Amino acid sequence: MDTEKLGQSRIMNCLARAGGATMESRLRHWLFDPNRTLRGAGIRAGQTVLEVGCGTGFFTLPAAGMLGENGHLIAMDPLSDFVDRVRAKVQEAGLNNVEIMRRDALKTGLEATSVDLVLLFGVVPFPTLPLNRLLPEMHRVLKADGTLAVWLFPAPAGVPTAIVRSGLFAELGKSNGVYTYRRSDIGGSNRTNFSIN
Ligand SMILES: C[S@@+](CC[C@H](N)C(=O)[O-])C[C@H]1O[C@@H](n2cnc3c(N)ncnc32)[C@H](O)[C@@H]1O
């Protein structure tokens, strides 16, 4: 499946528009504080952060605010509707530390070891983001001391275990509902044959 082509299809973008209304609903904002979740990921000013599957930007704007003008946020999503929406919000907010990419996170095209923190917020498990392809790519782009932060909704127990079983990441802990992992070199970034249940 070509996720980037799919991201331009009219049907996918119509469906996304419906889903997007939930993603940025008032109820979600009322029930849920994105800043708290971002703090759980350990985000710090000045970092380079990759946000996988930014959707309508629920986490994008708060993350950009926390990174400050010396930070760099790469917000990535294959759906053109979402990317256009987030671009408009970022422009409206006058933020110049956000780079928005319409791209499949399985093939980010980013330089190796260039990212301090990867946010997988509300994106795993997802059919177009299989962990056995996503984790090696995240391992490749993260710096040696980089962090992978995962917030799961709904929270299937298998995902945190599968991440550790990949051998690519070692668990650091859990804070504000966010699991964090440090990049590990034991498995090697070419390891794709681990099983995910
Ligand atoms: C459930 S939404 C979550 C959006 C956002 N993170 C949030 O919590 O509001 C999942 C997002 O992942 C994106 N996505 C799906 N497959 C992807 C891929 N291969 N690469 C990057 N993003 C992807 C979808 O387009 C969608 O925006």
Cα 46 to ligand 1 centre (Å): 24
Q: Is the CB of 123 under 6 A from ligand 1?
A: yes
Kindly give the number of the ligand 1 atom that is closest to the alpha carbon of 121: 6
Q: How many residues does the chain have?
A: 197
How many Cβ atoms sit within 10 Å of the Cβ of residue 158? 12
Q: Is residue 190 part of a domain?
A: no
Percent of the chain with pLDDT over 70: 83
Closest ligand 1 atom to Cα of 128: 16
* Nearest CA, atom 4, ligand 1: 55
Please state the separation of Cα 96 from the chain's center in Å: 19
- Please provide the average confidence, as pLDDT, over all residues in the chain: 89
Within-domain flag for 197 = no
Which atom of ligand 1 approaches the CA of 23 most closely? 9
Quick check: 197 pLDDT over 60? Answer: no
Does residue 191 surpass a pLDDT of 70?
no
pLDDT beyond 90 at 190:
no
Range of the domain at 57: 3-183
d(CA 175, CA 92): 31
What single string gives the DSSP state of each residue in 43-82? --TT-EEEEE--TT-TTHHHHHHHH-TT-EEEEEES-HHH
- CA gap 4, 178 in Å, rounded: 28
Model confidence at 192, pLDDT cuts 50, 70, 90, reads low
Rounded distance between C-alpha atoms, residue 128 and residue 133, angstroms: 10
Q: What is the CA(113)–ligand 1 centre distance, in A?
A: 23
Does 110 score more than 60 pLDDT? Answer: yes
Q: What is the pLDDT of residues 164-187, one digit of tens each?
A: 999 999 999 999 999 999 999 765
Cα-to-centroid distance, 124 and ligand 1 (Å)? 9
Distance from the CA of 123 to the center of ligand 1, in angstroms?
Answer: 5
User: Residue 69 sits in a domain of what CATH number?
Assistant: 3.40.50.150
Task: Kindly report the protein residue whose alpha carbon is nearest to atom 24 of ligand 1.
Answer: 53
Residue 196 resides in a domain: no
* Mean pLDDT score, 151-167: 85
> 125 is written with which tokens?
């498990």
pLDDT value of residue 31:
81
Residue to substitute in 1, 32, 58, 123 for testing ligand 1 pocket (most ligand atoms within 8 angstroms of CB): 123
Tell me, yes or no, whether 188 lies in a domain: no
In a domain, 191, yes or no: no
Distance CA(170)–CA(192), nearest Å, equals 16
Pocket test for ligand 1, best of 1, 77, 159 (most atoms within 8 A of CB): 77
162 band by pLDDT with thresholds 50, 70 and 90: very high
**Sheet with strand 72-77: strands edge to edge:** 98-102, 72-77, 48-52, 115-121, 142-151, 178-183, 169-175
Instruction: Return the SS3 of 148.
Output: strand
**Residue 164 domain flag:** yes
Domain count within the chain: 1
Cα(160)–Cα(152) distance, rounded to whole angstroms?
9
- For residue 5, what are the contacts with CB-CB under 8 A and spacing of at least 6? none
Task: Write the Ramachandran bin of 41: left for phi over 0, alpha for psi from -120 to 50, otherwise beta.
Answer: alpha
Residue 153 has pLDDT above 90, yes or no: no
Q: What is the pLDDT of residues 26-77, one digit of tens each?
A: 777 778 899 999 999 999 999 999 999 999 999 999 999 999 999 999 999 9
Look-up: residue for tokens 């956000």? 98
**Measured in angstroms, how far is the CA atom of residue 176 from the centroid of ligand 1?**
21
Residue 12 has pLDDT above 90, yes or no: no
Has residue 152 got a pLDDT over 80? yes
Q: Are strands 142-151 and 178-183 parallel, antiparallel or unpaired?
A: antiparallel
pLDDT for 147 beyond 50: yes
pLDDT above 90 as % of the chain: 71
pLDDT band at 19 (very low <50, low <70, confident <90, very high): low
- pTM, two decimals, is 0.90
Task: Quote helix, strand, coil % in the chain, to nearest 5.
Answer: 40, 25, 40
